[in-house]
Amino acid sequence: MPEYEELQKRLGYTFRDPHLLQLALTHPSVAHEQGAPAQTNQRLEFLGDAVLQVVLTRELYEKFPTFEEGPLTKARAKLVNRRTLAEHGRDIGLGACLILSHGEETHGGRERPSALADAFEALLGALFLDGGFDVAEAIILARFRGAFGGLSAIPILENPKGELQEWLQSVSSEAPDYQVVSVSGPDHDRVFECTVRHRDNELARGCGKSKKEAESQAALAALTKLRKEKEPGPAEAAPPK
The whole-number average pLDDT for the span 104-121 is: 88
Tell me which fold the domain 2-151 belongs to.
Ribonuclease iii, N-terminal Endonuclease Domain; Chain A (1.10.1520)
Q: What residue spans in the chain does CATH classification 3.30.160.20 cover?
A: 160-230
pTM to 2 decimal places: 0.65
Summary mean pLDDT of the chain: 84
Instruction: Give how far Cα 18 sits from Cα of 23, 30, 137, 153, Å.
Output: 9, 19, 20, 38
Element housing 94 (H / E) = helix 94-97
> Any idea which architecture 160-230 has in CATH?
2-Layer Sandwich (3.30)
The whole-number average pLDDT for the span 125-146 is: 92
Question: What type of residue sits at position 37?
Answer: P
- Report the distance separating Cα 213 and Cα 217, nearest Å: 6
pLDDT digits (tens, 9 = 90+) for 207-221: 988 898 889 889 988
Q: What residue spans in the chain does CATH classification 1.10.1520.10 cover?
A: 2-151
pLDDT digits (tens, 9 = 90+) for 34-93: 665 678 999 999 999 999 999 999 988 888 787 777 778 777 887 888 888 999 999 999
**Other residues' Cβ atoms within 10 Å of the Cβ of residue 73:** 12
Active site residues: 49, 121
pLDDT digits (tens, 9 = 90+) for 180-201: 999 998 887 888 999 999 988 9
